[in-house]
Amino acid sequence: MNAGRKILVIDDDPEICQAMEAILGDNGYEVFTATDTVRGEAMLEEHKPDLLILDIMMATLQEGLDFAAKIRKKEGPYGLPIVIVSGRPATEKGYQRSVDEDMDWIAADIFMEKPVDPDDLLRNVRSLLTARKA
């Protein structure tokens, strides 16, 4: 069912990348990982994944958000589905709004908070990939 469906995971934590690769790979997805958006962008071009899973805070506090916006501009409104997987930014770090309030400008289809429940991750991935097929 998932054969041939490719997913790119970009997260600066190698353990998160390994966990995502295990969860998704065990469910039939072909998974590629990168620990930064520079390598991630190269893998995006090389492997042409069906879905992108992306952390927010990597080298900078909003690297993932900037990268998602860049990809959305390239892909257009019917392009690559994006799942943001990140810890909720703490308000003491200067982030004053909730993620729910910001989904109108976050260039992602779904936001998931770490730690991610594997069943929820798989359900969201399947949902986005099914919608993309339609």
Distance CA 28, CA 13 (A): 23
Residue 108 lies in a domain: yes
Identify the weakest region by mean pLDDT among 4-18, 70-84, 96-110: 96-110
**Phi, psi angles (nearest 5°) of residue 101:** -70, -25
Q: Is residue 1 one of the residues assigned to a domain? A: no
Distance CA 76, CA 78 (A): 6
Q: Closest Cα to residue 113, out of 91, 92, 84, 93?
A: 84
Containing structural domain, residue 42 = 6-133
Distances (CA, A) of 16 to 11, 20, 55, 73, 102: 7, 6, 10, 27, 24
Q: With respect to residue 23, please indicate whether it lies within any of the assigned structural domains.
A: yes
pTM for the whole thing? Answer: 0.86
Task: Say how many domains are in the chain.
Answer: 1
Any idea what the CATH number is for the domain that residue 24 is in? 3.40.50.2300
Judge whether 74 lies within some domain.
yes
The three-class DSSP label of residue 84 is strand
25 inside domain: yes
Each residue's pLDDT tens digit, 17-74 = 999 999 999 999 999 999 999 999 999 999 999 999 999 989 888 899 899 989 988 8
